[in-house]
Chain A
Amino acid sequence: MWTLLNSGSGFVWDSLRDFAGSTGIAGLFASMGWGNVAMICVAFLLLYLAIKHKFEPLLLLTIAFGMLLTNLPDANLYHTSLFEGGHVHWDIFVANAGLLDYLYLGVKLGIYPCLIFVGVGAMTDFGPLIANPKSFLLGAAAQIGIFVTFLGAFALGFTPNEAGSIGIIGGADGPTAIYLTSMLAPELLGPIAVAAYSYMALVPVIQPPIMRALTSKKERAIRMRTLRPVSKLERILFPIMITVIIALLLPSATPLVGCLMLGNLMKECGVVDRLSKTVQNELMNIVVIFLGLTVGATATAEAFLNFRTLGILLLGVIAFAMGTAGGVLLAKLMNLFSKEGSKINPLIGSAGVSAVPMAARVSQIEGQKEDPGNYLLMHAMGPNVAGVVGSAVAAGILLSFLG
C-alpha cells in the first residue's frame, strides 16, 4: 500500500502544481504584472464613486465591473486581439471569443449607442425646443468645445481620428462619444467612455464657475418670457422632419439622429404606448448593461495605463469647459441683437452641452441663486435637447471627414 502511494507521489505533486498554476492568483503574478492590479484598483474606485456618490451609477457601475472582469487573470472574457487594427477578425472569432467579445460586437458595429438613442428619444420632451427654435443656436455654440479639443488633442500628438474621438467628449453625450470612438479610434474606447461619463457626472462642479465668470449679476437675473404651448401636431411632425432633413444633408449622422427621433415619435404619437414604455425601460436598461460591461472591458491595462489616458482626461475637461463657455457667450451675443423683453438668460446657454437633464438643472440652480423666483428649467431644456441633436450632427460631420 505504502509503495503504491509512494509511486504516485510524483503524479500528486504535478497535479497540485498544475492546479496552482491554473488559479487566478498564479495568473496575477505570471502574466499581468502591476498594470492589471492597478486597473483592478481603478475599477474598485469607480465602483465606489458609482455606489457611494452616485456618479452616473447606471453606466459607471457596469463600466467599472466590465473593467474588473477584463483585468482579472485568465478569465478569458474579452480578447483585444480579436479587434486589433480597428476591425473584427472573424476568421478566429468563434474559436477564441469569450462572453464579452460577443457582447462587444454591439459596440463595434454601432448597435448599442443607436438603441440607447431610441430610449433617450422616447424620454425626451422636445416641446421647449419646438416652442423656441433659437435654442438650436445655443446647442450649436456649445459644440465649439468639440472642435477646440480636436485641435488640442492633435497638438498633444494624437492622430486626427483619435483627436476627433477625444473632441466628442465635449458633446457631453455618452452614446455619441462611444459611437464615434468605436468607428474612429476603438483603442481609446475605454478611457474616452470613462472620461465622458465621469465628466457628465461632474457637470454641476465644472459648469457653475465658468457660468458665473462669464456673466454679470444682471444677466443671471434675466427673466425669460413664458414659452408658447406646443400642439400635438407639431410634436408629431418634429421628429419626422428632423430625420428627413438630417438624413438628406448629413447621412453619416442618420443612425444616431434617426434613432433619437424614432423614440421621440413613439412617445409623441400616442398610439404605441407599449413600444414607448419598452424602449424607455426594458430595452434601454438591457442595452445599458451590455454597453457598460463591454466598454469597461476595453479598459485593459495596456490601453488605459499610459500618459495618453491622462491627456484624454485633461482634454475632456477642456472640451466641457469650452462647450459651456461657447453656449454662454453665444447667448450673450444673441442678447445684443434682442429687444428688451425677449432677452435670453445666458445661463441657459451652458445647457447646450447635452448632458440631459443635468446641465439644464445647473442652469436652473444658478439662475435661482440670483433670483429665487426665476424658473429657467424649461427654457434651459431647449438648448439641452438641441445639444443632443448638435452633438450627433458634429459626430456625423467628424465621421464623414475622418471615417
Chain B
Amino acid sequence: MNMLIAKGMDWGWSEMLWTALISICLVFFMLVLLVLIMQGFGYVVSRRNAVAPPSAATKAQTQLHEEEIAAIATALKMYRGDLHDRESEVLTIMSIKRAYSPWNSKIHGLTQMPDRK
C-alpha cells in the first residue's frame, strides 16, 4: 500500500476498503495476542504465588479478622479525634512602625483644647 502512494497511484475504493479491513484485523490480532500473553503471564504469576509459602507478614495479615480491623480503625479514629493542637503559648507583640494610624493618633485620643476666639 505504502508503495502505491510512493508510485503516485490514485487510491480507489478497493484499496481503501482493503486498508480498513486489514488494519482493523491487525488491531484485533495485536490486542488478542496481548490478551493471550497477559493471561498466560497472569497464570504463571498466580501459580508462583500459590506455590510460594506465605511470609510471616502475609500470615499476620491474613490472620486479622474483619472485626479486629474495624476495632483497630475505630481506636485510631478515637485517638486522633482526641488530639488537640498544641500551641507555643508564647505571646508576642509585634511592633509595627507606621507613620500614622488612628490607633496612635493624638488628635483622636486626647481632648482637644477649646478654640479661643
Task: Find the A residue at minimum CB distance from B20.
Answer: A147
**Residue ranges of B at the interface with A (Cβ–Cβ < 8 Å):** 1-2, 5, 11, 13, 15-17, 19-20, 22-24, 26-28, 30-35, 37-39, 41-42, 45-46, 49
Contact B45 A133, beta carbon cutoff 8 Å: no
- B17, B28, B34, B38: the one within 8 Å of A151 (CB): B17
Asked whether B17 lies within 8 Å of A234 as measured between CB atoms, the reply is no
Q: Which listed residue (B2, B30, B37) contacts A400, Cβ 8 A?
A: B2
| Among candidates A129, A133, A394, A402, residue contacting B2 with C-beta atoms closer than 8 Å | A402
Q: Using Cβ atoms and an 8 Å threshold, which residues of chain A touch B13?
A: 154
Would A136 and B42 be within 8 Å (CB), given that A154-B16, A402-B1 are in contact? no
Q: How far is the CB of A140 from chain B (nearest CB, A)?
A: 4
- In contact, A137 and B23 (Cβ under 8 angstroms): no
Question: Does A242 reach chain B (CB closer than 8 Å)?
Answer: yes
Are B28 and A133 within 8 A (Cβ)? no
Decide yes or no whether A166 CB sits under 8 A from chain B.
no
Q: Within A110-158, which residues are at the interface with B (CB < 8 Å)?
A: 129-131, 133-134, 136-137, 139-140, 143-144, 147-148, 150-151, 154
Confirm or deny: A58 has a beta carbon within 8 angstroms of a beta carbon on chain B: no
| B-chain residues with CB within 8 Å of residue A250 when the two chains form the complex | 26, 30
Cβ of A297 < 8 Å from any Cβ of B? no
Given A160-B5, A160-B19, A241-B37, A133-B24 contact (CB < 8 Å): no
Residues of A within 8 A of B20 (CB): 147-148, 150-151
With beta carbons under 8 angstroms apart, the residue of B5, B27, B38 that contacts A397 is B27
User: Once bound together, how far apart are the Cα atoms of A402 and B35, in whole Å?
Assistant: 27
A154 to B19, CA, bound (A): 12
Complex contact A137–B19 (CB within 8 A): no
Assembled-state Cα–Cα distance A389/B28 (Å): 12
Report, nearest first, the 4 A-B pairs whose CB atoms are least far apart. A133-B38, A140-B31, A136-B31, A147-B20
User: A159 — which chain B residues lie within 8 A by C-beta?
Assistant: 11
Which of B24, B26, B31, B46 neighbours the largest number of chain A CB atoms within 10 Å of its CB? B31
- In the bound complex, do residue A401 and residue B31 qualify as a contact, i.e. CB atoms below 8 Å apart? no
Tell whether, in the assembled complex, residue A242 and residue B5 are in contact, meaning their CB atoms are under 8 Å apart.
Answer: no
Interface of A is mostly: helix
- Count residues on chain A whose CB falls below 8 Å from chain B CBs: 43
Q: Does A214 interact with chain B (Cβ within 8 Å)?
A: no
Task: Specify which of B11, B27, B31, B49 is in contact with A160 (CB 8 Å cutoff).
Answer: B11
Q: Binding site of B, secondary structure by majority: helix, strand, loop or mixed?
A: helix
When distances are taken between beta carbons in the complex, the residues of chain A under 8 Å from B17 are: 151
**6 intermolecular pairs with C-beta atoms under 8 Å apart:** A136-B34, A144-B24, A147-B23, A147-B24, A150-B19, A238-B38
Residues of A at the B interface (CB closer than 8 Å) are 129-131, 133-134, 136-137, 139-140, 143-144, 147-148, 150-151, 154, 159-161, 163, 228, 231, 233-234, 237-238, 241-242, 245-246, 249-250, 386, 389-390, 393-394, 397-398, 400-403
Complex contacts, A401 vs chain B, CB 8 Å: 1-2, 19, 22-23
- The interface residues of chain B lying within 8 Å CB-to-CB of A150 are 16, 19-20, 23
Known contacts A151-B16, A234-B41; decide if A386 and B24 are in contact (CB<8 Å). no
What's the Cα separation between A401 and B23 when bound, in Å? 9
Known: A150-B16, A160-B11. A133 touches B42 (CB 8 A): yes
Note all chain B residues with C-beta closer than 8 A to A151.
Answer: 16-17, 20
Inter-chain pairs besides A242-B34, A397-B23, 11 sampled, C-beta below 8 Å: A133-B39, A136-B31, A137-B31, A140-B31, A143-B27, A147-B23, A147-B24, A154-B13, A159-B11, A163-B16, A245-B33
Q: Which of B2, B30, B41, B49 contacts A249 (CB 8 A)?
A: B30
Q: Smallest CB–CB gap between A121 and chain B, Å? A: 16
**Interchain CB contact under 8 A, A245 and B23:** no
Give Cα distance in the complex from A147 to B19, angstroms: 9
Q: Least Cβ distance of B42 to chain A in Å?
A: 7
Cross-chain contact of B41 among A161, A241, A389, A402 (Cβ < 8 A)? A241
- Beyond A234-B41, A241-B41, is A133–B23 a contact (Cβ under 8 Å)? no
